[in-house]
Structure 1
Amino acid sequence: MLRKTKFIQRFHQAFQATALNASLKGYSDPVVWLPLCCSGHTLVRGTSSSGAPSGSRTPTPAAAAASTSISGSTDETPLSVFARQREKLAAMPLYPKLLGFAGAIPFTTLTPAFVQQAGFPDIIDLCAQMQLVYGGSIVSFLGAVHWGLAMSSSTVAAAGSKAAGALNERYVWSVVPSLGVVPALMMQPAQGSLAITVLLGICYLSDASYFRSGYLPSWYMSLRGYLTLLAIASMLSTTAYYLKRDVEKAKKLIEEEDAKRAARLEARAVDASIAAVASAAVPPDAAAPWGRMRK
């Protein structure tokens, strides 16, 4: 019993010391500082894991990360998101940024909706075909980026090593998008634009994987995010336009077939009624002249 009492007293003292030290460090929520104390942080002794003085109110990066993971929120606001995106845009090299966004102009201006609003409905099909060809060239370019990076790689890998295998994988992947573009360009604009959309998404996922492996710079993926979003939205707009037009054509054909069928049925009904009237107008004796002659 005495041991239990001493243990409770020591625990109470340690808890009070931890709470006091946490309040000095700026940890006001027990949900944040208590797990940090239990996980081995030296809040009780008055010093942090980085050796900061006990009177400092700025939490360490490890403590901030732990508190973020515990609380589940990062106090993210729309303004901070826009500010971060603006910083990413400012960090991009000038020429790739200008050329990249200029390359997105044909995607948006060749969509059927844009062409129709511009007052050129007669060339919608031509513009859609041009957009399909342009999208195919962009997909091929995205694959060729990896061919160029693999050629410019300064890594000297021995044959059969893991580095050599990764380099050969990049060479193989660099030609896959251009091979996938060929059947897409042979399709109609509705199906072709959808196929280009799928290829753009696959290329982005592949580049994201290479970026996580350290093969691509961060600004390139930031730029790719904006441009891929614009390109996919434009191609899907073309797909939606042609699908809507095909549905309207199918409905119109069904209505025409129904109208023709109704006209045929009506004509048959009129012919049947005329035949019935004609048969009713003929006298019964006229139908059997030979019987009267026999009598």
Structure 2
Amino acid sequence: MLRTGATRLALRSLTPAVRPTAKVARAVSAIQWTAHFNSATCKRPQLPMAQSKPIQTAILRRTLADKIDLEAEKKYAQEKLKPDPERVSATSSIHPFVGEVGGAPAAEQVDMMSGVKGDVDTIKSTFDLSAVPRQANILGLAGVLPYFATSMGTVLCAWEINHSNAGYGYLMSADTAETLLHILEPLQVGYGAVILSFLGAIHWGLEFAGYGGYHGYRRYAIGVVAPAVAWPTVLMPLEYALITQFCAFTMLYYIDTRATYRGWTPPWFAIYRFVLTFLVGAAIVVSLVGRGQIAHRVGRVPGAVDRIKELRDGAEDRLAEDEKAARAHDKAKAK
């Protein structure tokens, strides 16, 4: 088989040399990466490309490709390749293009599941409550049960209302489901306000005990702001109340995390608060989804603001009726 020198020169000048990685270099012999044609082309002087910068190397290669010695190429064109069985093996002309680590030992191969395993370990460590005291862990998780009970009750009532036939559902009638729904909604909002106030009061107890030092108004402010944000939600419509409490739980979790990093709380408090906030947030989202399914069929329960507005409008109407009656009495008296 003949191979012209022009093709060899073009391939050497235009194609960057393939460099094996460290792992492949240990597994594959140097014969796989160098070709010995036993011709004069192997004796050409080579420029020190490795010492040049990448841009300079590309320019030199392009220059060599443009300047071709035609006489030398004619000489190379007439040259025949001589067989060299001693340097030829079953793998001397094979390149593992399927994978660069094809010849690496099994112990050095890349673990393709390492990323997934790392994510699983991160999730496990995030929800790990082994450092939390047993009593606090049990009572804290039990405190989330009322939230889940009201959320699942909301979803059940919404499902009964949407799937009722002629006013009758599978477990209860549509009217009963709507009445139960109007009972569950204020219970969930009121319970959320209580929990938010309790979480803020924890920082007052830590300040009283001097845990992590005494920080004064900075730590007292947490216990003051929490109920100031929580209790106005009992006057809001359900959707706005739940969204406000969701944001309040998230913000209070962030504050508790920063307090843990500063040493104001026990080291396990940040993970403990994350798990509880995650569960409460999931319950709030479930309630919002269930309530949204029947927003067009069930009206909301009149809140305190609606009652105050009703009393004000009723007082104005009664005052107008009294004035009208007084004028009619005065006209009748004048006659």
Task: Give TM-score, length-normalised by structure 2.
Answer: 0.45
Higher relative contact order (CA 8 A, sep 6+): 2
Q: Could you tell me how far apart the structure 2 residues matched to 1:132 and 1:146 are?
A: 23
Map of 1:214 onto structure 2: 263
Q: Is the 8 A contact 1:133 1:185 kept in 2?
A: yes
Q: What secondary structure sits across from 1:198 in the alignment?
A: helix
Q: 2:146 aligns with which of 82, 106, 111?
A: 106
Map of 1:146 onto structure 2: 203
Q: Does 2:253 correspond to 1:204?
A: yes
Q: What secondary structure sits across from 1:218 in the alignment?
A: coil
May I ask how many residue pairs the two structures share in their alignment? 171
Q: Does 2:185 correspond to 1:128?
A: yes
C-alpha deviation, 1:241, in angstroms:
3.0
Q: Could you tell me how far apart the structure 2 residues matched to 1:146 and 1:203 are?
A: 11
Structure 1 residues 150-181: Cα deviation after superposition (integer angstroms, max 9, x where no partner): 1110677xxxxxxx6x4211112211110111
Q: What secondary structure sits across from 2:197 in the alignment?
A: helix
Map of 2:273 onto structure 1: 224
Q: Could you tell me how far apart the structure 2 residues matched to 1:116 and 1:233 are?
A: 18
Q: Does 2:221 correspond to 1:172?
A: yes
| Matching of residues 205-284 of structure 1 within 5 Å | 205-247=254-296
Q: Is the 8 A contact 1:189 1:238 kept in 2?
A: no
C-alpha deviation, 1:206, in angstroms:
0.8
Map of 1:89 onto structure 2: 129
Q: Does 2:137 correspond to 1:80?
A: no
C-alpha deviation, 1:237, in angstroms:
2.2
Q: Could you tell me how far apart the structure 2 residues matched to 1:114 and 1:218 are?
A: 39
C-alpha deviation, 1:74, in angstroms:
7.7
Q: What secondary structure sits across from 2:142 in the alignment?
A: helix
C-alpha deviation, 1:215, in angstroms:
1.1
Q: Is the 8 A contact 2:189 2:234 kept in 1?
A: yes
Unmatched runs of 5 consecutive residues or more in structure 2: 1-21, 27-112, 161-170, 300-335
Q: Is the 8 A contact 1:109 1:115 kept in 2?
A: no
Q: What secondary structure sits across from 1:245 in the alignment?
A: coil
Aligned identity (percent) is: 22
- Summarize the Cα distance change of 1:227–1:115 in structure 2 as closer, same or farther, 3 Å threshold: farther
Q: Is the 8 A contact 1:210 1:216 kept in 2?
A: yes
C-alpha deviation, 1:100, in angstroms:
0.5
- Summarize the Cα distance change of 1:79–1:233 in structure 2 as closer, same or farther, 3 Å threshold: closer
Q: Is the 8 A contact 1:208 1:221 kept in 2?
A: yes
Task: Supply the AA of the counterpart residue of 2:141.
Answer: F
- Summarize the Cα distance change of 1:115–1:96 in structure 2 as closer, same or farther, 3 Å threshold: farther
Q: Is the 8 A contact 1:185 1:192 kept in 2?
A: yes
Q: Could you tell me how far apart the structure 2 residues matched to 1:206 and 1:153 are?
A: 18
Determine which structure has the larger helix proportion and give its number: 1
Map of 1:137 onto structure 2: 194
Q: Is the 8 A contact 1:146 1:174 kept in 2?
A: yes
Task: Give TM-score, length-normalised by structure 1.
Answer: 0.51
C-alpha deviation, 1:113, in angstroms:
1.0
- Summarize the Cα distance change of 1:141–1:74 in structure 2 as closer, same or farther, 3 Å threshold: farther
Q: Is the 8 A contact 2:158 2:291 kept in 1?
A: no
- Summarize the Cα distance change of 1:76–1:143 in structure 2 as closer, same or farther, 3 Å threshold: same
C-alpha deviation, 1:85, in angstroms:
4.9
Q: Is the 8 A contact 2:196 2:226 kept in 1?
A: yes
RMSD between superposed Cα atoms in Å = 2.9
- Summarize the Cα distance change of 1:114–1:224 in structure 2 as closer, same or farther, 3 Å threshold: farther
Q: Could you tell me how far apart the structure 2 residues matched to 1:81 and 1:155 are?
A: 28
